[in-house]
Structure 1
Amino acid sequence: MPGNESGGGKVKDIANWIDGAPAPGIAWFDKRTPVDGSVVARVAEAGQAELDRAVAAARRALAGPWGRLPLAERCAVLHKVAAGIEARFDEFLAAEIQDTGKPRSLASHIDIPRGAANFRVFADTVRNVATECFETDTPDGRGALNYALRRPVGVVGVISPWNLPLLLLTWKVAPALACGNTVVCKPSEETPQTATLLGEVMKEAGVPDGVYNVVHGYGPGSAGEMLTRHRDVDAITFTGETRTGTAIMKAAAEGVRAVSFELGGKNPAIVFADCDFDAAIEGTMRSVFANCGQVCLGTERVYVERPIFERFVGALARAARGLKLGPPEDAATGMGPLISEEHRRKVLAYYERARLEGATVVTGGGVPSMPGALAGGAWVEPTIWTGLADDSPVNREEIFGPCCHVAPFDTEDEAIARANDTEYGLAAAVWTTNLSRAHRVSARLEAGIVWVNSWFLRDLRTPFGGSKHSGIGREGGVHSLEFYTELKNVCIKL
């Protein structure tokens, strides 16, 4: 992308991507890196005219070259997209790091590889999932065959978050395209770069113009709301806050559009005294502090069986104090900044609330002293509390920062009841070496995914999603195909 010199560095222009080409918008907005607060890009904000163009292009491609492309050829193109991401790995990595501030080690091992893997997995899945066929008796004895065909839903609106920008965008785009749909994507205004870069890869891979479109902007009153309300959008998939999901669901009701939501969480971990202690500490460190706590599947409530409670809190605190905060390119960096100054204010408000409610701040609880230009970034300390009641807002509301509250428990039933005492139901972790207990507790936890003696270990064929206020529907494997296709029954009288 072309750039303008500003502040001694190069500020890139990030365009919308409409009908196979970069497209301007109605205005420009600044994208600041959370590492030091400097402006790294100007982003073209889409207005109604750009949104209309993108949806119209998607509709044409659906009826034209993409809709007529045989399944095998469509899947081959998606494999080329995966290869294209890998060929431009360093560009995707640099853009992702600049937008999010996350450590290079995290983005290079998870975000970019998963972005490519999503296209391969779903291209292969759609070719290998069978539909139904029944032999049906008829009064004349000749019979009939009833079989099902998968057909694309149509134009899909994809709204993706800022915490795992490429990974979660492609988690939706890949199955949508594999099923023959076309998409209009609205990435977070905080992380615009990789979505537009993916448009270039699509073009290079031979994806027809109009199949993949990107509109940049904000939510209410901007590109996000326009996309959800557009009458020619047939389905909407969204990952983000529960409050935003509620607004999108209301908009989707006009026209009776299908929705798939992965929403907020206040995820628990239950640590039993018979756990592998070192593994439980290492796993909880990851689930609490990975990506500066900005992971929808992360742990914010930790329940520890009383005999090991004090030891566990001490070990977790020592490990948290050992996290090195620093620039993403430093190999020793263990945690980066929050996504923005606005989000930091939200997280720090919870830090202050915990203090005012009388929490014991085991470690952290404030803003770290960062050297030089890093002082302008959105940094917070990794934080651990004890001593708060279960009904404290700190223990009820999603914070989405590098923090957790640790509380003791005495019985298995108590731990399960407290873990389930939330309006959310996205993920949970259980740490135990008792196999029977692992099965028993996992079955009773109200969550879409339960990890036992692990965290963030994913098989992309499995169902993924939340219960209660944490979402609607499931993605992954055949479950993604159920959302991105309509099943048509064909009855043939013999």
Structure 2
Amino acid sequence: MADFSLSSVPDLPLDLWVGGVERAASDGGRFDVLDPATGKVVASVANGTVDDAMACVEAADAAAASWAATAPRERAEILRRAFELMTERADEIAHLISLENGKALPDARGETAYAAEFFRWYAEEAVRASGTVMTAPSGANRILVLQQPVGIAVLVTPWNFPAAMATRKIGPALAAGCTVILKPASDTPLTALLMAKVLADAGVPEGVVSVLPARRSGAVVSAMVHDPRVRKLSFTGSTEVGRVLLKEAADQVVNCSMELGGNAPFLVFEDADLDAAIDGAMIAKMRNAGEACTAANRFYVHADVAEEFSSRLAERMRALTVGPGTADDTQVGPLVNEESAAKVDELVRGAVSAGARVVLGGERPDREGFYYSPTVLLDVPRGADILGEEIFGPVAPVLTFTDEDDAIAMANDTEYGLVSYVYTRDLARGLRVSERLDAGMVGLNRGLVSDPAAPFGGTKQSGIGREGGHEGMLDYMESKYVAVSW
């Protein structure tokens, strides 16, 4: 799509989407959305207020009973139609993601396809909210268990996957029979607003879906989770913010799902297929320029192959084309904002000061926009700050090991437990190590774990609950037990 601009999406809402109706913010406020490739304004959208948040809750409450009573097959057909509409509009959605997020078009196209799959998967799952019936062990009665929608759900999504994180929450919530209010990241509200339009075109009734862009995120989310009609909060974002929201949700004992930070280790043993390991590292590290909670953050490579692995990884990363996300030949786009680029630069400088050796990159390129050069660091000292934080950029710090137990101990030495990656030709070792890694997901000889049909989530401070798979819909349902005799 040459010369993409917002005029290429004429039906894109730029105001609030309150229960299926586009409207201005109650105080008339707006905020700007920037192109990370230039730092320039590409759009202005309505800036939701607490009053607007309450209007969204009102709309969700008014539609809740009828949507919960809607036949599962009817909900499924609407979700299936949403999948088809996203597929038909895939190119413009990808370009819109690139424009506001900065990610390269190949990544944006991949995200669009991945995002659409959540609507297709939950179209299939909507009719499978199975209950159970059994005889009580005493024989006195039957135990009947029903699955019912949890209620109004507030969905808070991050900027790094503006389409996929929205559909990963909206899909199971609608399949379960919940009405929803989506609060997208203020860096990337445009994709979320287009998702609202897609869902409306697919037949979602008024009131079932609201989208509330707002710079005052804390105030509007707090107001909603303190409304007794709201019974679910699903958040994807940093562990720091997740802790705050869990405290907020405790006041009304709101059901919470939290997909929080990650610090993924990538283990390469001496017997690994290095071709496969390099391919996997390029996916696990460079997908979305490293701006992913699943991104490989720490590379632990056996000393026998560390030099070769690092040099080959640097060679592959050096060959990547850096540029605006919307350009057809770009493979690595800018980071989302100036704060992100500055943080990556600070982490790399700290590692180098501590003794790390720069194999590739290590600096911000001299150009406008929020870029950071693809970077490989070798001999990173244990304890360096870059190993304890999510880098969220195209930087691969490499450490060496010689002992399996030591590698596992280093991999587990973090408060996070989202995903780990393991490369070895020895299947017994691979499974043994996978069992010992304290993470909710493991990529064994694979650099990509995300799949709409699989339960996505972590251990420790990487979150609570699972998204995707059958479990993802159950997170939006409550089990009701009926004791009955017949």
Residue aligned with 1:14, SS = coil
Question: Match for residue 440 of structure 1?
Answer: 432
Cα offset for 1:280? 0.5
Say which of 317, 320, 325 aligns to 1:323.
320
- Does structure 1 conserve the Cα–Cα contact (< 8 Å) formed by 2:95 and 2:108? no
| 1:130 counterpart = 2:130 | yes
| 1:395 counterpart = 2:392 | no
Say which of 157, 160, 165 aligns to 2:157.
160
Runs of 4+ more than 6 Å apart: none
Q: Which is worse superposed, 201-210 or 47-56?
A: 201-210
- Deviation per CA, 1:466-494: give whole Å up to 9, x if none: 11111111222221122100111122211
Residue aligned with 2:475, SS = helix
- Deviation per CA, 1:156-189: give whole Å up to 9, x if none: 0000001111001110110001000000110000
- Does structure 1 conserve the Cα–Cα contact (< 8 Å) formed by 2:259 and 2:458? yes
Cα offset for 1:79? 1.0
Amino acid corresponding to residue 465 of structure 1 in structure 2: G
Cα offset for 1:234? 0.9
Cα offset for 1:199? 1.4
- Deviation per CA, 1:106-150: give whole Å up to 9, x if none: 111x211122210110121232353221023667xxx63322111
- Does structure 2 conserve the Cα–Cα contact (< 8 Å) formed by 1:134 and 1:147? yes
Residue aligned with 1:351, SS = helix
Cα offset for 1:462? 2.4
Superposition map of 1:54-69 within 5 A: 54-63=56-65, 65-69=66-70
- Does structure 1 conserve the Cα–Cα contact (< 8 Å) formed by 2:78 and 2:204? yes
TM-score by length of 2: 0.94
Change (3 A) 1:138 1:322: closer
- Does structure 2 conserve the Cα–Cα contact (< 8 Å) formed by 1:216 and 1:223? no
Residue aligned with 1:307, SS = coil
Question: Match for residue 348 of structure 2?
Answer: 351
Separation (CA, whole Å) in 2 of partners of 1:137 and 1:94 = 58
- Deviation per CA, 1:17-65: give whole Å up to 9, x if none: 00211121131111101011111010111001111100110011002x3
Amino acid corresponding to residue 255 of structure 1 in structure 2: Q
Question: Match for residue 18 of structure 2?
Answer: 18
| 1:80 counterpart = 2:81 | yes
Amino acid corresponding to residue 133 of structure 1 in structure 2: V
- Does structure 1 conserve the Cα–Cα contact (< 8 Å) formed by 2:173 and 2:180? yes
Question: Match for residue 372 of structure 1?
Answer: none
- Does structure 2 conserve the Cα–Cα contact (< 8 Å) formed by 1:13 and 1:41? no
Say which of 189, 208, 211 aligns to 1:211.
208
Amino acid corresponding to residue 41 of structure 1 in structure 2: A
Separation (CA, whole Å) in 2 of partners of 1:129 and 1:162 = 31
- Deviation per CA, 1:263-310: give whole Å up to 9, x if none: 111110100111111110111122112211101001110011111111
Separation (CA, whole Å) in 1 of partners of 2:440 and 2:82 = 30
Amino acid corresponding to residue 419 of structure 1 in structure 2: A
Separation (CA, whole Å) in 2 of partners of 1:88 and 1:22 = 21
Structure 1 vs Structure 2 CA RMSD:
1.9
Residue aligned with 1:365, SS = coil
Superposition map of 1:184-195 within 5 A: 184-195=181-192
- Does structure 1 conserve the Cα–Cα contact (< 8 Å) formed by 2:56 and 2:181? yes
Separation (CA, whole Å) in 2 of partners of 1:352 and 1:311 = 24
- Deviation per CA, 1:402-442: give whole Å up to 9, x if none: 11210110011111111111111110100111111111000
Separation (CA, whole Å) in 2 of partners of 1:285 and 1:91 = 26
- Does structure 1 conserve the Cα–Cα contact (< 8 Å) formed by 2:439 and 2:458? yes
| 1:180 counterpart = 2:181 | no
Question: Match for residue 281 of structure 1?
Answer: 278
- Does structure 1 conserve the Cα–Cα contact (< 8 Å) formed by 2:20 and 2:200? yes
- Does structure 2 conserve the Cα–Cα contact (< 8 Å) formed by 1:337 and 1:377? yes
Question: Match for residue 235 of structure 2?
Answer: 238
Separation (CA, whole Å) in 2 of partners of 1:88 and 1:285 = 28
Question: Match for residue 464 of structure 1?
Answer: 456
Amino acid corresponding to residue 379 of structure 2 in structure 1: G
- Does structure 1 conserve the Cα–Cα contact (< 8 Å) formed by 2:133 and 2:143? yes
List alignment gaps of at least 5 residues for structure 2.
Answer: none
- Does structure 2 conserve the Cα–Cα contact (< 8 Å) formed by 1:96 and 1:107? yes
Residue aligned with 1:491, SS = strand
Question: Match for residue 100 of structure 2?
Answer: 99
- Does structure 2 conserve the Cα–Cα contact (< 8 Å) formed by 1:363 and 1:382? yes
Separation (CA, whole Å) in 2 of partners of 1:13 and 1:177 = 21
Separation (CA, whole Å) in 2 of partners of 1:225 and 1:380 = 34
- Does structure 2 conserve the Cα–Cα contact (< 8 Å) formed by 1:218 and 1:224? no
Change (3 A) 1:297 1:269: same
Superposition map of 1:135-150 within 5 A: 135-136=135-136, 144-150=141-147
- Deviation per CA, 1:314-341: give whole Å up to 9, x if none: 1111111111101224333211110011
Say which of 245, 266, 270 aligns to 1:269.
266
TM-score by length of 1: 0.93
Separation (CA, whole Å) in 2 of partners of 1:393 and 1:153 = 41
Cα offset for 1:200? 1.3
Separation (CA, whole Å) in 2 of partners of 1:331 and 1:432 = 35
Question: Match for residue 30 of structure 1?
Answer: 32
Separation (CA, whole Å) in 1 of partners of 2:300 and 2:185 = 33
Amino acid corresponding to residue 198 of structure 1 in structure 2: M
Cα offset for 1:68? 2.2
Cα offset for 1:458? 3.4
| 1:483 counterpart = 2:485 | no
Residue aligned with 2:446, SS = coil
Change (3 A) 1:334 1:249: same
Cα offset for 1:388? 2.8
Separation (CA, whole Å) in 1 of partners of 2:46 and 2:221 = 14
Separation (CA, whole Å) in 2 of partners of 1:182 and 1:471 = 23
Question: Match for residue 304 of structure 1?
Answer: 301
- Deviation per CA, 1:324-379: give whole Å up to 9, x if none: 1012243332111100112112211212222322221121111123xxxxx32111
Say which of 6, 23, 47 aligns to 1:45.
47
List alignment gaps of at least 5 residues for structure 1.
Answer: 370-374
- Does structure 1 conserve the Cα–Cα contact (< 8 Å) formed by 2:153 and 2:173? yes
Residue aligned with 2:126, SS = helix
Cα offset for 1:221? 4.4
